[in-house]
Chains A and B, each alone.
Chain A
């Protein structure tokens, strides 16, 4: 039996960060969002998940962070069967996983800074460290002037970046990003990718769901394409 201490202190050793074996997810009445998905993501990898709208990308990310349960199959994250984790163990694992949701999940009556801080507060980071990190992230995403604005008052592109900042704030070992550039122009997209690349270089495993070809076609990362809930292809980007 793993103890909680293992979860907090170990830097998720081992080569495999995510392992899915024959995973399916269906919704009532008979929507098969994902069927028979098997693949794995290496520790430290930047992995792209592509496919048309409705292909099952968001569902796959939700399964990885245990926001939803698979109808069938096994999902392991950092060696833990994530669906059998409960209570404190699950909470501690989630602190090590940063997620930028497609619908952001920001608290619109809180300021930008407060929204980003939440992810660090739950793991009891020092207030001073939190303030420093928030300022630093906003700087990298060109949002310095928005520090004290309510997120409800921001444009969608800005909200998207705040959600991203929150997902990386606690320096998680695994970062799941859902359509991070959907509402952004080319330069801002570049800033976002720079931020994610920096996290990746620092050792974080990153999974990006997107249909924006510009962010993956010139990399040499692995790309998995979903079509109607099944794996259509698993290729590598064509960087020279």
Chain B
């Protein structure tokens, strides 16, 4: 028989004696992980969607008149006066007509009676990556609006505005829920182990008297914390995965989720969450050991 056999046997005794509070703690840890991971998952997917969205972000300036080459050069200079841009493309009325016809495809014959210049000329501007903050885009569009010959600037204002607000709100929710849940889980683990220690004061006292080493006495409680962290996080993540599958199946077909291409956590992130949960629960049990196991 060796140290680990004895430690595991002692851990088993602890768990058997306090299984109901152990179960409550496990539930708390799982729920904490579930809730926190749920928000993080939404958050990371939204950030991903935002990135993809801003890759396609462009501002379109509709012009009153078709600009001549000199005018084009002047406009180009004025636009670059505000900031460097990724690309500037001039779209003549004819180009616009052609594009529209291409988009219509087979139905393009509805256009046959229309004059080729019924669509306005425009400038398509793709801003630099660095100019992707919502406020900057807004300022840029206000600047473009004041250029001579501009009729209207379009970049999906309202939609982008909502999206950025949503992301900001989500950041707050994730941070707050994360902090709260981490505190709750750590506290619960510390509390359960404190309960075990207090309920077994006599035995721990006796163990010291018959010559049990500190490791012999402490390690089972540490293992208890590690088990809580491991099982709690795995249960929480499993529950989240089931929830995730359900949502994916439920919402297949055209819809917002398809647009965003909803992803589950990568294995690296999963391992990180489990590891973080184990660390926190060990920390909880360690503080209880330090505080209540006077050795």
Q: Quick one: closest A residue to B200, CB to CB?
A: A107
Task: Enumerate chain A residues within 8 angstroms of B2, measured Cβ to Cβ.
Answer: 124
Residues of B within 8 A of A21 (CB): none
Report the Cα distance A194→B209, complex, angstroms. 25
Q: What separation, in Å, do the CA atoms of A88 and B206 have in the docked complex? A: 16
Q: How far is the CA of A236 from the CA of B213 in the complex (A)?
A: 39
Known: A107-B202, A107-B203. A122 touches B3 (CB 8 A): no
Q: Which of these, A67, A97, A99, A124, contacts B1 with CB under 8 Å?
A: A124
Report the minimum CB–CB distance from A72 to chain B (whole Å): 24
Residue from A95, A105, A125, A166 within 8 A of B211 (CB atoms): A95
Q: Check if B6 sits within 8 Å of A121, measured CB to CB.
A: yes
Residue of B nearest to A87 (CB): B214
B residues less than 8 Å from A119 (CB atoms): 210
21 contacts between A and B (CB under 8 A): A65-B209, A67-B209, A87-B213, A91-B214, A91-B216, A92-B211, A94-B208, A94-B211, A95-B210, A97-B211, A105-B202, A105-B205, A105-B209, A118-B210, A119-B210, A121-B6, A122-B207, A124-B1, A125-B1, A127-B1, A166-B210
How far apart are the CA atoms of A95 and B210 in the complex, in Å? 6
Q: Does A134 contact B (CB under 8 A)?
A: no
Residue from A91, A105, A166 whose CB has the most chain B CB atoms within 10 Å: A91
A76 to chain B, nearest CB (A): 18
A9 proximal to B (CB < 8 A): no
The residues of A that contact B202 with a CB separation of less than 8 Å are 105, 107
Q: Give A169 Cβ to nearest chain B Cβ, in Å.
A: 9
A122 near B1: Cβ-Cβ < 8 Å: no
Chain A residues within an 8 Å CB radius of B1:
124-127
The reply to whether the CB of A15 lies closer than 8 angstroms to some CB of chain B is no
Q: Does A81 contact B (CB under 8 A)?
A: no
Q: Is A93 an interface residue (CB 8 A)?
A: yes
Residues of B in contact (CB 8 Å), total 19
Residue-by-residue, is B210-247 near A (CB-CB < 8 Å gives 1, otherwise 0)? 11111010000000000000000000000000000000
Give the residue name and chain of the B residue nearest to A86 (CB): B214
Distance, CA A119 to CA B5, complexed state (A)? 16
CA distance A91 to B208 in the complex (A): 7
Cα A105 to Cα B214 in complex, Å, equals 20
Measured between beta carbons, the chain A residues less than 8 angstroms from B212 are 91, 122
Closest to A115 in B: B206
Task: Give me 20 other A-B pairs in contact (C-beta within 8 A), A97-B211, A124-B2 excluded.
Answer: A88-B213, A91-B208, A91-B213, A91-B214, A94-B208, A94-B209, A95-B211, A105-B205, A105-B209, A107-B202, A107-B206, A118-B206, A118-B210, A121-B9, A122-B207, A122-B210, A122-B212, A123-B211, A124-B5, A124-B6
Binding site for B on A (CB under 8 A): 65, 67, 87-88, 91-97, 99, 105, 107, 118-119, 121-127, 166, 170
Query: Given that A107-B206, A118-B206 are contacting pairs, would A124 and B3 also be in contact in the complex, using a CB cutoff of 8 Å?
Result: yes
Q: How many contacts between A and B, using CB within 8 angstroms?
A: 55
Query: Would you give the shortest CB distance from A127 to chain B, in whole angstroms?
Result: 6
Smallest CB–CB gap between A194 and chain B, Å? 24
Residues of B within 8 A of A122 (CB): 6, 207, 210-213, 216
Query: Which residue of the partner chain, among A105, A125, A127, contacts B206 with CB atoms under 8 Å?
Result: A105
User: Which of chain A's residues have a CB closer than 8 A to the CB of B5?
Assistant: 124
CB A82 to nearest CB in B, in angstroms, measures 13
Q: Specify which chain A residues have a CB less than 8 angstroms from the CB of B207 in the assembled complex.
A: 118, 122
CA A84 to CA B27, docked complex, whole Å: 46
Q: List the B residue with the shortest CB-CB distance to A92.
A: B211
B215–chain A nearest beta-carbon distance, Å: 8
The interface residues of chain A lying within 8 Å CB-to-CB of B211 are 91-97, 122-123
The 3 closest A-B pairs by CB, nearest first: A94-B211, A95-B211, A122-B212
Q: A94 contacts B3, CB within 8 Å?
A: no
B214 neighbours in A (Cβ, 8 Å): 87-88, 91
B3 to chain A, nearest CB (A): 7
A103 to B210, CA, bound (A): 15
- CA distance in complex: A67, B211 (Å): 11
Shortest distance between the CB of A233 and any CB in chain B (Å): 31
Residue of A nearest to B17 (CB): A109
Q: Determine the chain B residues whose CB is within 8 A of the CB of A123 once the complex forms.
A: 211
Compute how far the CA of A96 lies from the CA of B210 in the bound complex, rounded to whole angstroms.
9
Contact yes or no, A94 B210, CB < 8 A: yes
* Complex contacts, B206 vs chain A, CB 8 Å: 105, 107, 118
List of B residues within 8 angstroms of A170 by Cβ: 210
Q: How far is the CA of A40 from the CA of B74 in the complex (A)?
A: 110
Q: How far is the CA of A69 from the CA of B149 in the complex (A)?
A: 97
Q: CB-CB < 8 A to A121: which residues of B?
A: 6, 9
Q: Could you tell me the distance between the alpha carbons of A111 and B1 in the complex, rounded to whole angstroms? A: 21
Q: How far is the CB of B75 from chain A (nearest CB, A)?
A: 81
